[in-house]
Amino acid sequence: MADPTLVLQPQIAEWEAFNWDTTLAGMDATVQQAKEAQKQSLQARKQLTETTKQFKRSVKSVEQASSTLSSDGSPANIQATVKSIDSLSNECRITVKSYQEAIDNLTRRCKNAEGSFATIVQTLIEKTNPAVLLQQQQSQMAQLLRTVEKVNQELQSQEKTIANYKKEVQQLKTSGGGGSGMSKEEREELISLRKEVAEYEVEFRSLKNQDITIRKLEARIAELQTSGEENLKEELEKHKQELEETEGRRVAEALEREAALERKVQGLELQLKAERAGREATQTHMLQADEGVSQREAAWEAQRRIIVDDSNRLRESLQTATRERDDLRLKVAALEGNKTQAPPSGGISFGDFAAERKAYDLEVAELSETASLLRDELRAKEEMLADVNRSNGLKIDSLERENLNLQMKVQNLQADLDSAPSQALVDSMKRELRILKRLEYNADDVDADLDPEIAGDEKDLESVLVSKLRRAESELVTERTGRSGLVKEINSLKEALMAVKKEKEEADSLVARLERDLEQAIAATPPSGSHHSAPVKSEPHPLQDDQSSTTLQSVLDPESAPPPKSPASTPNPSMLRRVASEKADDDHSVATIVMAQRDRLRARCEALEAERDSFKRELQVQVQASESLKTDNTKLYEKVRYLQNYNKGPNNRRGMDRDLDLETLEQRYEASVDPFRQFSRAERQRKLNEMSPVERAVFIVAKTVLGTKEMRTALFFYVVALHLLVFFTTTHWSHSETCQSRNNEHLAILPHEQQTAHLRGNANIENQP
């Protein structure tokens, strides 16, 4: 029969080469690295949550800017929308980078854990399976027990057959020293064997603890993998949804607004690039996953080798156990030989020997139980490896399906981008938007057929804006010239109206004077007889013409000197009656002439009044036209401002030249845009008037002093200089002689000797260094 120790020696050497302490230190280091990586992953997760919150805020700001832009398409809102979109793109890049970094860290952690686990498994696979050796050891121990039982039976039979007790006692006394030495050696061997068994038990327990830690690590790695994959899927779905929402909003805003359309198309291109980069990243991740699969296979192979090595070591331990069993068998055989030669004496009893044998049997049973447990654990590890291989295969299949889904999504996005409106359609929509803007500003051009925005001769936006600006400038110049001509016409009409008013006033004064003269003439004529009485026949008076002329002059000009009396003698009564009748006829003819003149003047005045009313109506019409021109000019300036803000470039230097008319238009435009400025100015003036004179003086002084930067700096330096002056003067006075004399005034009540002593003491104190 071959020696069992030779069989166990290679197993023992193999388990000694396993270097259990270094492997435990390496496992502790890997566990610490895993804990540090877990802490870093928690910090990275917090940073990811902060970046996602910032990304959501930027998305909300873009939505608000788009809503404000849809409600009011001012240039400020357009710039705010562009800034928000740029910030959103930056935040998107930052979040994608942070997620990529987190995914890379997770993959590194997974690779490190898998590598450490693979090394452990590889070392275990390389070891031999101790189950076979333990089974052989168990069978050998059973044979040993059977031989021991046979030995006991033979001892009992020998005890019955001993006849000569005294002879045997003497022989035992003579051979007592050697028997006692043999018993001590056997006890020492048994103690050493027990120590070795205890060491084996400790080693097996450590192996059990190592298996428990390996299982815990495997469970932790599986949980981390599942949680990382779930979190990654959720975050990818969220980002995909957010990206889809932002793309939809950008497409809608591109159809609504002109300026945002181009920027959003650029954003779509950037997002397509990001999707391509993501697809490339997923492809790289798939390649890395394939590499990880190969690494996992290598790890499982290493684990299998480690288990094989463990089994080999167990075989070696079994060989050592068999060798020890053979040694014990030889010892038992030696004991049997000694017992056949000499029965037991008073040095050692058979009961002690049986107790030791039972203890040894118990130790052998424990070793067999540990071997069975190790065999079960090896089977469980093999089943676990098979399950892990199946789970890895399922993960590879799921990753391939996800890759296919991502490729399909990328193809769908490419198809959506291809199905986006073409450049011609976008240009036509831009042209329509320009036309709508022109309609919104009520800009009716006569040369609409020659307009590039409507006719479509030029497709360059800059040239269209330049032509629009030139047309606006030409319209402004024409309106300015028309306005100057209308102002000149209004001034000429005002001058004509003033001349007509002067003529009317002169005519009114003339009519009033004539009416007054006529009343005076009617009041000055005495009552006479019938105007149709027959005239007295007399000779013609040579002074009739002179009298009639003087009468007419007196009627027309009553303030003139009376006519000289004729030097003739006193007329007779018939002559007087004839003169009176002629005078009445002359008065009646003068009155009819004056009344006809009055009627003519009245008609003239009515005609002038009608002309004045027509002039007034025309003046009102011209004033209304000038007001409408002012409003049109403000609208035109508003259009110019809009075009200048929209087309900010090197070609816009000519538009920066300002003149007085544009400044007045700008002031009018600012006044129309900001109606609260005049109200605030009036309120400020009202509050200033309500102040008392002292408060008003304080307010004016404070305003003049604190109104400008120079006055504020001057006031600061003045206050600092004043404080320094006060400080230096007080310090100078406090150290001067007058101050010292004032400080010594309280010594005047003391005698002269005490005063001099006190002053000398102060001088000595001052002279001391």
Q: How many angstroms separate the first and last alpha carbons of the chain?
A: 111
Q: Give the integer Cα–Cα distance in Å for 198 and 363.
A: 9
State how far Cα 622 lies from the chain centre. 56
Is 133 within a domain?
A: yes
pLDDT digits (tens, 9 = 90+) for 146-180: 776 776 676 666 566 555 555 655 555 555 444 44
Helices 461-524 + 573-646 axis angle, to 10: 170
- 385 and 438 share a domain? no
Q: Predicted confidence band at 567 (pLDDT cuts at 50, 70, 90)?
A: very low
Is 229 within a domain?
A: yes
For residue 675, the model assigns a pLDDT of 61
Q: Predicted confidence band at 722 (pLDDT cuts at 50, 70, 90)?
A: very high
- 241 and 147 share a domain? yes
Helices 75-126 + 176-256 axis angle, to 10: 160
Least confident of 252-256, 423-427, 609-613, 763-767: 763-767
What total number of domains does the chain contain? 4
| pLDDT of 110 over the 80 cut | no
Q: Give the integer Cα–Cα distance in Å for 476 and 689.
A: 42
Residue type, 260: A
Q: Predicted confidence band at 747 (pLDDT cuts at 50, 70, 90)?
A: low
Q: Give the integer Cα–Cα distance in Å for 375 and 136.
A: 13
For residue 479, the model assigns a pLDDT of 83
Is 302 within a domain?
A: yes
Q: Predicted confidence band at 261 (pLDDT cuts at 50, 70, 90)?
A: low
For residue 241, the model assigns a pLDDT of 75
C-beta atoms surrounding 700 within 10 Å: 12
Q: Identify which of 59-68, 220-229, 310-319, 740-749 has the greatest average pLDDT.
A: 59-68
Q: Give the integer Cα–Cα distance in Å for 613 and 412.
A: 77
| pLDDT of 532 over the 50 cut | no
- 719 and 630 share a domain? no
C-alpha angle with apex 497: 492 to 500, nearest 5 degrees?
130
Q: What value does the mean pLDDT take over residues 442-462? A: 50
State how far Cα 81 lies from the chain centre. 13
- 380 and 495 share a domain? no
For residue 119, the model assigns a pLDDT of 77
Residue bearing the bigger pLDDT, 388 or 16: 388
**Cβ burial 527-560 (10 Å sphere, 16+ → b, else e):** eeeeeeeeeeeeeebeeeeebeebbeebbeeeee
Compute the residue count for the chain.
769
Residue type, 94: I
Q: Which of 459, 485, 511 is the last residue of a domain?
A: 459
State how far Cα 302 lies from the chain centre. 50
Q: Give the integer Cα–Cα distance in Å for 5 and 316.
A: 9
Nearest to 322 by CA among 506, 134, 186: 134
Please report, rounded to a whole number, the percentage of residues in the chain having pLDDT higher than 90. 3
Q: Identify which of 448-462, 508-522, 575-589, 651-665 has the greatest average pLDDT.
A: 508-522
Contact indicator for 275, 413 with CB cutoff of 8 Å: yes
Nearest to 286 by CA among 117, 103, 139, 420: 103
Which helix H or strand E contains 572, and what residues bound it?
A: none
- 400 and 511 share a domain? no
Q: Which of 402, 436, 459 is the last residue of a domain?
A: 459
Residue bearing the bigger pLDDT, 126 or 373: 373
Provide the 3-class DSSP secondary structure of residue 127.
strand
Q: What value does the mean pLDDT take over residues 133-150? A: 72
Is 134 within a domain?
A: yes
Contact indicator for 566, 543 with CB cutoff of 8 Å: yes
For residue 228, the model assigns a pLDDT of 66
Structure token pair of residue 378 = 């090896």
- 267 and 326 share a domain? yes
Least confident of 266-270, 457-461, 760-764: 457-461
Q: Tally helices (H) and strands (E) across the chain.
A: 19, 1
Q: What is the sign of the dihedral through the CA atoms of 198, 203, 209 and 211? A: negative
- 107 and 31 share a domain? yes
Q: Give the integer Cα–Cα distance in Å for 364 and 320.
A: 13
CATH number at residue 595: 1.10.287
Nearest to 472 by CA among 655, 657, 653, 645: 655
- 88 and 113 share a domain? yes
pLDDT digits (tens, 9 = 90+) for 284-294: 766 776 666 66
Q: What value does the mean pLDDT take over residues 575-594? A: 70
For residue 263, the model assigns a pLDDT of 66
Q: What is the sign of the dihedral through the CA atoms of 332, 337, 338 and 340? A: positive
- 496 and 366 share a domain? no
Is 687 within a domain?
A: no
Strand residues in 20-141 grouped as ranges (E): 127-128
For residue 713, the model assigns a pLDDT of 92
Mean pLDDT of the chain: 71
- 140 and 98 share a domain? yes
Residue bearing the bigger pLDDT, 545 or 675: 675
Is 570 within a domain?
A: no
Q: Which of 632, 652, 672 is the last residue of a domain?
A: 652
Nearest to 305 by CA among 159, 461, 124: 124
| pLDDT of 725 over the 90 cut | yes
pLDDT digits (tens, 9 = 90+) for 315-364: 777 777 777 777 777 776 666 665 554 444 444 455 666 676 677 677 77
Is 534 within a domain?
A: no
Nearest to 221 by CA among 120, 311, 124: 120
Model pTM score: 0.23
- The whole domain housing 724 covers 708-763
Q: What is the sign of the dihedral through the CA atoms of 452, 454, 457 and 458? A: positive
Least confident of 388-392, 691-695, 740-744: 740-744
C-alpha angle with apex 160: 155 to 163, nearest 5 degrees?
115
State how far Cα 15 lies from the chain centre. 61
Beta bridge partners of 306: 125, 126
Q: Give the integer Cα–Cα distance in Å for 140 and 566.
A: 197
Is 335 within a domain?
A: yes
Instruction: Give 236-245 contacts, CB < 8 A, sequence gap 24+.
Output: 238/52, 239/95, 239/96, 239/99, 240/409, 242/55, 242/56, 242/59, 243/92, 243/271, 245/59
Q: What value does the mean pLDDT take over residues 371-384? A: 78
Q: What value does the mean pLDDT take over residues 479-483? A: 84
- 746 and 602 share a domain? no
C-beta atoms surrounding 514 within 10 Å: 16
- 489 and 412 share a domain? no
Contact indicator for 283, 403 with CB cutoff of 8 Å: yes
